[in-house]
Amino acid sequence: MLRSRLLRRERTDGLLKPFARLGLHPIAWSVLSLPLAFAGMLLLGRGELIQGLLMFLAAGAMDVIDGAVARATSTVTLLGAYIDGVLDRYVEILLIMGLMLFLGDRIDLRLSLLFSLLIFGSLMTSFVRAYADHRGLVRDQEALSRMGGVLERAERLMLLYACIISGMYSIDLLVLILTITALLANLTVIQRVFLILNYARGNSGGS
């Protein structure tokens, strides 16, 4: 939702088209996000929050550049989209792990459960929609893409970035934002499940 509003394809494609001249395949741009995110995780773990945030922002930029390059070079493929989606999950988990490393000894049972809830919500948000497609519950890809929910990946990342920034000033604020993110992520999972079920019932032909 947020990404589609702020990063309109026509606008970003025009701005990022020069990257296609570098000759890197779109999948190579996608893969670049992984070492950047890994570096960001290590930097967060060392308490270098600004540098870590910059690494994750750079990893996010790769996620935009790869699509723009693919469209500019007419190399959009299902394989590229698949790899991009898989790497997106890794980048997000590395970000969460970076926050865990930053908190270090402060993590108690309550925070352990909170991080578990956050990881579960982050992964399940994508899974419930992908599994509906896999099982054929929603065959209309356009309808499936509209089943976003209150906290899609872009919004979730923005909140996690806010966690990094708040960590510079207040651990309590970091934990508060983390809690909100975890709760909204799981609310989104529930919301998507109901949207998919309602769609499936409405298109079952009365059976």
- Encode pLDDT of 171-206 as tens digits: 999 999 999 999 999 999 999 999 998 888 877 654
- For 134-155, the pLDDT digits (tens) are 888 887 777 777 778 888 888 9
Single residue among 83, 103, 123 that ends a domain in this structure: 103
Considering the domain architecture, whether residues 117 and 165 belong to the same structural domain is answered as yes
Using the structure block, give the residue that is written with the tokens 């950047």.
36
Question: In sequence order, which residues have a C-beta less than 8 Å from that of residue 21 and are 6 or more positions away?
Answer: none
Considering the domain architecture, whether residues 87 and 144 belong to the same structural domain is answered as no
- For 17-51, the pLDDT digits (tens) are 778 778 888 899 999 999 999 999 999 999 999 99
User: 55 by DSSP, 3-state: which?
Assistant: helix
Query: Nearest CA to 118 among 100, 145, 102, 105?
Result: 100
Considering the domain architecture, whether residues 99 and 114 belong to the same structural domain is answered as no
Q: CB-side exposure of 86: number of CA atoms within 13 Å?
A: 8
Question: In sequence order, which residues have a C-beta less than 8 Å from that of residue 3 and are 6 or more positions away?
Answer: 152, 153, 154
> How far is the C-alpha of 55 from the C-alpha of 193, rounded, in Å?
33
Task: Write out the residue range of the structural domain in which residue 35 sits.
Answer: 1-103
Single residue among 103, 133, 154 that ends a domain in this structure: 103
User: 8 by DSSP, 3-state: which?
Assistant: coil
Considering the domain architecture, whether residues 114 and 172 belong to the same structural domain is answered as yes
Residue 138 · residue 196 · CB < 8 Å: yes
> How far is the C-alpha of 120 from the C-alpha of 116, rounded, in Å?
6
Number of domains within the chain: 2
Residue 199 · residue 160 · CB < 8 Å: no
Q: Please state, rounded to an integer, the average pLDDT across all residues of the chain.
A: 88
Considering the domain architecture, whether residues 84 and 99 belong to the same structural domain is answered as yes
Considering the domain architecture, whether residues 168 and 113 belong to the same structural domain is answered as yes
Considering the domain architecture, whether residues 80 and 174 belong to the same structural domain is answered as no
